Every structure is written in structure tokens, then in C-alpha cells.
Chains A and B, each alone.
Chain A
């Protein structure tokens, strides 16, 4: 059977390729309003109007066929058939931003010169019109000599015509090889592009009033940084304040589930394993879903509006002082959600040493998996009182932990850039997109995907970890007078770990939680719950009990040391795996794990002994 023709979506960064890809194939690739959202190729399928299937390929944005960063290299390699495991494309859809024609056409001219069948999607024509720019698509088609279709990918406008024109040009599979004789002189191409853009512009009025007005505040030397800090602060306060009610509902739901299931099972090991082990353990993690969704909602909105690049702009000065570029702030801010996509997003950084440094410090950004651990410890041991009207002490401590991660990351970057990753910087040069209102559908979809991932993780990795831990913590049965959590297999392993972590104030509970936390940080919460459940089989029923037990068994210095440990410790196997992949080897992930553990140990120790010294 012949494979379906392969059609590649190519164009400048932030032209709307992924939005078009989603609209054409029904895929749900991430879209956002900043250059560099897509950093790897994604494949999908669609049918042409004549019924032929084609395989669509969404590629990272690039400015030309001469890549300056790893993500752009993917695009070049796919177009020339050099990408491993990928065949040559049979046609190209080049996506251009209608309001940035003179720039985007330059790359289009290069792509046309490749000689592959091509269709130009003149995208975001609605935004161009809002900007007072009227373009003549027919004239553009005459000037370029290839089909041009006006589209608005996010509103699914122009898709049928695009498919029709694509059906006309797609002949079959591997009929044409890309030409090697492509013009690489940017200046020559740019001048030609500008000529064409002027020729097809019907009318043009002064534009971008909104973006200018907003930037006057967002980029203001004084108001800008205050706004950025304020936004981050509101984000972390909301995580606490808004999640309270929905978390209560999930808790009630879990308690109900435990009652129903518990009523069906006869008393004994199986009953305890399912009710107190699995349901309570997984429930203790699932309860944090609202907090994680609130955090993601903020990040998704920041990404969709175009504010991310403004944040990078404001942070460039600070980033430069530690040897990084403002550009690195975008992957770092994404790492607040999860370090894995954050580390992948560093592919947009052109300088290798710059990129490596960003990868090495990304795990210090407080990812959403730390949130349950922080919340439960803060909730149990930090008093719930207002420092200022509307500013709670608990939220402030949480904010402080986030800031600490950032400050720690910057200090490490400063040291690394003077030692192991010494070298040139990639500078800071970035296109600033126009502001856009976030599309509710995209945000909702992003949240839905996140909820799916989180619940799946709770149902698989975390459930498995909890199950194994429960069994290990239940056997062998402790004789009367001995504590089950110390006598069992898990307890004995924990006692071994305790020898190492006792000097930094960690008790037996924490030692037992450290290993499951390697599988997933959130599992630490479930593990602590397990300890209390096996020790008090009568009254273990989820988070309320964990909180009460924490208050009885932990001192404040121990709790603070534990929080510190979680700020720095590299307890996530996925992060280590993605670092290995992105740095092509074990050298850098090994280095990362080593320095982060050392840092975590030192920070926890210093905190514990200082807190003890202060008599807390």
C-alpha cells in the first residue's frame, strides 16, 4: 500500500501553524501567543475534499532555512529529508501572518524556491484588518505564482478553500525532491519580500493601538516589574484561596467512596489495603487537582495573551547578570507547571551553553507536583492568619518557596556560567507578538488535558507507588508495643535512610516518604498518609488525619527543613529522563542530580539548625 502524501506546515514563529494544524486534523496541539510554542514535529491526518488521505506535519517555526537553534534545525532537516525516521514532504503549506507580510514572505520565497508543491495560507487576516491593513490575496497569488488562501485558523475560516487548493497541487508521493539551489542571502530575499508586501497592500492605517497602550504599562521601567511581580503573587495567593471549596468537595467525595467501598468489603487486610491504602492514598493526591488547575489556568492565560515575551523582556537585565538571556525566562516560567515541557522549550535557545545552563536550573522552578507537598505541610504547620488584609501568611510562605526556587536557580546559573558552562551568550532578540484575548476554548482544552494527565498519573504511577508502599509497610506484622511503620520492611528501609537524613532534622516519617517521592513528588503526601494509617488502623481517613498527625508528630524546624528539601531535591525521574534525551547522554543528568541533592541537603540542614537555634 502506498503511504499517504506528506504535507508539512512551515512558516515563521507565531504565524499560527499549530492552530491551523489543529483546525485541519482535529488534533489538540498546544497553541500560544509567543514565538517558539512548538519545538518538535507533530503528525496528524486529514482527508482532502476528493477523499485522498494526507499526513500533515506541524513543524517548529523558523525565520529561514538556516537554523539558529535546535527547534529550527528540525524544520530544515524535515524539509530536506535529513530528519531521522521522517520521509521527504510531498507538499508544503506555508503559514504567513497577514499583518507581518514583509517579514514572513521572505521565508515563503525561500520555501517556494525549494520547488515542492506549495500553498500559502495568509493567516490571521481578521487581526490584520483590525489593525487597519487591507491585503489583496489575488494580487499576492499573482506575485508569488503559487496558490494563496486567506485563513483565520482559530475561527476555522478558509479551511475548505485551503483543502481544495491543496488537493490541486498534491500529486502523489515522492514525485519531487527539494531543490538545493535556494537563495540564502537574507537581504536580497527581504527586499523582494518587501516589494511584494507593498504591492499587495491595498490600504494601511496607523495600527496596534491596544498593544501600544498595554505595553506602555507592561514594559514601563517601574510599573512593568511591579505588574509582573504582582501577577505572580496573585497567582500563588489564588492557588490557596480559590481552591479551598472544590478541594472540600473532592475530600467529601473520597470519604463517601471510602465508606461505600469499605461497606462492601469484609474487615481484614484487603479492606484496609483498598480503603486506607489505595483510596486514602490516591485521594490525598487527587484532592490537589483544583490547585493545579488554577495554577495552569494562570500560566495558560499568560501564554495565550502574549505577556510571556513581555515578562522575558523585563527579566532580561536580571537574566543577563547571571549569564543567561531573557529568552530563558519563558522555559523557566513554563517549568512552574512542569519541568519536562520547560526543558523541551529550551530548544528555542540558540547558544548551546546558554541552553544547557537553562536545562540544569529548570528543575528548581517549583513545578505543580510540589504543590501538594507544600500545601499540606504549610496547611498543617504554618498558622492561617492574615499578614495584611487579603494577604495570608500561608500564601506568603508558598510565594516565598517559589521565590526561593527562582533565586536558587539564578545563583546556580551564575556559578555554572563561570565554571562548567562557561562561554558566549546568545543575547536577547525576540519578536514581541501583539496582545490577544485568550480563547476560552484553548484554555479549557489545555486545562482538560492537564486534568487528564494528572488523574492518569494518580491512577497509575501514584496508585502503584501507594500499593507497593502499603504492602511493604504492612509486613511483617509488628508485635505488640512495636510501631508498625518502623517494624515493617518499608520501615526498616526508612531507618537506613534516616541515618543519612537525621542530621538535617528529618524524622522516620520523612525518610519513609523520600523513596516513593522519587517516582512522583506528590506520592510523598500519600506516603506520609500511609505511615499514619498503618500505625493507627482505626482512624485513617485521608487528609484531615494527615494534617492532625503532622501537627502532633512534626516540629516546625523539621517541617521547614522538609520544605527546603523539596525546593531543591531532584525527585522526579521524568525530569532526569528528559534531561538525558535533550543533552544526549548521562553526563549532564548525573551532574544535575548530584548538585541538586547536595544543595537540597545543605539547604535543609541550614534551615533546620537555624530554626532550632532561633527556638522555633
Chain B
């Protein structure tokens, strides 16, 4: 029992843990594993798809704006840089190899 716990605590993250894009460390690219489409308003979800967001796409958090509270974030979706509000970025689950 003790042995198993030890192992699970010390083992390197072989299986990547999904993180929300809003909380991804900066400049650590990851792959979109799931999107909570239901958490987004319909036009928002559609525009997000039109900007190329989809499961399996590589994304990267580039910049957070936060001078007066939590502003939008800038992220890379594929080859495109896109500005999103935080609640949208929070609906995007990312598996980061190094997370």
C-alpha cells in the first residue's frame, strides 16, 4: 500500500494531465484534448471553431493581459494568434507534455 502511494507520488507524469488553456504555463505548447462547447454561448463557440480550434490542435498561451483585473489572453491556435476572453480559455482543456 505504502509502496504504491510512493510510486504514484514520485512517478514522472507519463500520462499527461489536462490543464485549462487559461491556466497553461506561458510558452509551453500543448494539444487540445477537449472543449466544453456547452459552457460557451453559441456565437462564441462558432467563432472559436472558425478560428480553427478543435480537438487535437496545437495551442500555446502567449500573453495574459491583466493590468486592471483579469483581461483577455492571447494564444496560438495552429499558426494563428488569437485573443480570447478568460472564460473561453477556461473551457479549453489542453494536455501539455511537460505540464
Q: When the two chains form the complex, which single residue of A186, A191, A220, A316 contacts B83, counting CB atoms closer than 8 Å?
A: A316
B46 contacts across to A, CB distance below 8 A: 66, 68, 186
A interface, by DSSP: helix, strand, loop or mixed?
Answer: helix
Q: Is A507 an interface residue (CB 8 A)?
A: no
Selected from A211, A321, A326, A350, the residue in CB contact (under 8 A) with B72 is A326
Interface positions of A from 418 to 446, Cβ below 8 Å from B: 424, 426-432, 434
Instruction: Report the Cα distance A321→B68, complex, angstroms.
Output: 10
A190 and B49 form a contact (CB under 8 A): yes
**Would B71 and A317 count as touching, CB distance under 8 A?**
yes
The size bracket of the interface on B is 20 to 34
Is B48 interfacial (CB-CB < 8 Å)?
yes
A-side contacts of B88, CB under 8 Å: 427, 429
Is B85 touching A428 in the complex (CB atoms < 8 A)? Answer: yes
- Identify which of B43, B44, B48, B67 contacts A317 (C-beta below 8 A): B67
A205-235: CB near B (< 8 Å → 1, else 0) gives 0011001100110011110110000000000
Q: With A221-B67, A222-B67, A318-B68 in contact, do A215 and B74 touch (Cβ < 8 Å)?
A: yes
The docked-state distance in angstroms from the alpha carbon of A216 to that of B62 is 9
Question: Would A99 and B65 count as touching, CB distance under 8 A?
Answer: no
Asked whether B43 lies within 8 Å of A68 as measured between CB atoms, the reply is yes
* A351: nearest chain-B partner, CB-CB: B43
Report the interface size for chain A: residues with CB under 8 A from the other chain.
48
Given contacts A103-B78, A429-B82, A429-B83, contact A316 B41 (CB under 8 A): no
User: Are B84 and A317 closer than 8 Å at their CB atoms?
Assistant: no
Q: How many Å lie between the Cα of A426 and that of B43 in the bound state?
A: 8
Residues of B close to A506: CB separation below 8 A:
none
1/0 contact string of B55-81 vs chain A (CB within 8 Å): 000000011111111111010001111
> Which A residues touch B63, using CB under 8 A?
215-216, 219-220
Q: Known contacts A186-B46, A317-B72, A427-B41: does B52 contact A221 (CB below 8 Å)?
A: no
Tell me the complex Cα distance, A316–B82, Å. 14
B51 close to chain A: CB less than 8 A = yes
Q: In the complex, A326→B71 CA distance in Å?
A: 10
Q: Does B7 contact A (CB under 8 A)?
A: no
The yes or no answer to A64 lying at the interface (CB within 8 A) is: yes
Q: In the complex, are the beta carbons of B78 and A221 less than 8 A apart?
A: no
> Smallest distance from the beta carbon of A124 to chain B beta carbons, Å?
13
Does chain A have a CB within 8 A of B50? yes
Per-residue contact bits, chain A 282-324, to B (CB 8 Å; 1 contact, 0 not): 0000000000000000000000000001001110111011000
Taking a contact as CB atoms closer than 8 A, the residue among B51, B64, B67, B79 that contacts A63 in the complex is B51
Asked whether B70 lies within 8 Å of A431 as measured between CB atoms, the reply is: no
Chain A residues, CB < 8 A from B54: 187, 190-191
Q: What residue in chain B is nearest A318 (Cβ atoms)? A: B68
Measured CA separation A432–B81 after assembly (Å): 5
The distance in angstroms between the C-alpha atoms of A220 and B66, with both chains bound, is: 9
With A and B bound together, what is the CA distance between A187 and B79 in angstroms? 17
Complex CA gap A350/B63 in Å reads: 25
List A residues at the B interface (Cβ < 8 Å).
63-64, 66, 68, 99-103, 106, 186-187, 190-191, 194, 207-208, 211-212, 215-216, 219-222, 224-225, 309, 312-314, 316-318, 320-321, 326, 350-351, 424, 426-432, 434
The 8 closest A-B pairs by CB, nearest first: A317-B71, A63-B50, A219-B63, A432-B81, A186-B49, A103-B52, A221-B66, A430-B83
22 contacts between A and B (CB under 8 A): A63-B47, A103-B52, A103-B78, A103-B80, A186-B50, A190-B52, A207-B79, A211-B81, A215-B62, A215-B74, A314-B67, A316-B72, A317-B66, A317-B71, A326-B72, A427-B44, A428-B84, A429-B44, A429-B47, A431-B51, A432-B74, A432-B81
